[in-house]
Amino acid sequence: MKLSTLEAIFSALNQSKVRYLAKPDKRKDWIKTKNMQVLSLQSTLHPETTIDIFVTEPFNFDETYKTATTVELTPEIDLSLVNIPTLIKMKQNTGRAKDLDDIHHLEMILKEQSGE
């Protein structure tokens, strides 16, 4: 991995919200009061791309990792993505309007992938 890539990652992670994740009481408060499942990070260089960091494990990691999709983020970095059915289940548990809209679009993607 290139040094510039590492610097970019650590720069993004050096936000105050990420530092709070290291504090169990703050993390528990966000999970309880905001129904938080992930902390979303966006780069000013790539605002269309969001990276979510789980604050809890809402699914069995080992089982889900087996069905993850791997994509090349850069020639040096591969990224594992949770499968769509697992993502839908996660979003169903939040009850937020944005997640309900996301579920609708994710189901459309599943139908398109299955040829329906």
How many structural domains compose the chain? 2
Q: What is the mean pLDDT of residues 23-41?
A: 80
Same domain, 87 and 43: no
Q: Of 36, 56, 76, which one is at a domain's C-terminal end? A: 56
The pLDDT of residue 1 is 45
Cβ-contact 8, 76 below 8 angstroms:
no
Q: What is the mean pLDDT of residues 4-23?
A: 61
Same domain, 95 and 49: no
Q: Of 39, 56, 73, which one is at a domain's C-terminal end? A: 56
Same domain, 72 and 51: no
Residue type present at position 27: R
91, pLDDT greater than 80: yes
Same domain, 34 and 83: no
Same domain, 39 and 81: no
57, pLDDT greater than 60: yes
pLDDT band of 47, cuts 50, 70, 90: confident
Same domain, 97 and 113: yes
Same domain, 47 and 82: no
> What residues form DSSP beta bridges with 54?
38
Where in the sequence is the domain holding 36, given as residue range(s)?
1-56
Same domain, 47 and 22: yes
Same domain, 49 and 77: no
Buried residues in 40-52 as b, exposed as e (16+ CB within 10 A):
ebeeeeeeeeebe
90, pLDDT greater than 50: yes
Between 2 and 31, the more confident residue is: 31
The pLDDT of residue 18 is 61
Same domain, 52 and 40: yes
Between 45 and 104, the more confident residue is: 104
* Token pair in block for residue 76: 């040096």
